[in-house]
Amino acid sequence: MPNFCAAPNCTRKSTQSDLAFFRFPRDPARCQKWVENCRRADLEDKTPDQLNKHYRLCAKHFETSMICKSVS
């Protein structure tokens, strides 16, 4: 099942791109920042766990310096 980007007006999905897709963070403060930056009112009433499980943002919505490519 493909992941769809949750950013407004972004039509990217994981099956059409080699871009990375990132889950919303479970940390409430960080998750709230992501929701605010998405500017989607329909995400505001969802819990961090719901957002983490069901929503993703593609790498196009992050500065390259913000993406850590190492696995720890």
Q: Are 12 and 60 in contact (CB under 8 A)?
A: yes
Residue 42, both tokens: 């329909």
Q: Strands (DSSP E) along 1-72, which ranges?
A: 21-23, 56-58
- Structure confidence at residue 17 (pLDDT): 66
pLDDT level of residue 71 (50, 70, 90 thresholds): low
Give the whole-number percent of the chain exceeding pLDDT 90. Answer: 64
- Other beta carbons within 10 angstroms of residue 38's beta carbon come to 21
- Compare 69 and 15 and report the one with higher pLDDT: 15
- Structure confidence at residue 44 (pLDDT): 96
Answer yes or no: is pLDDT of 69 > 80. no
Instruction: Indicate the helix (H) or strand (E) that contains 51.
Output: helix 48-54
Lowest mean pLDDT among 10-24, 25-39, 50-64: 10-24
Instruction: Single out the residue of 69, 23, 35, 67 nearest to residue 14, CA to CA.
Output: 23
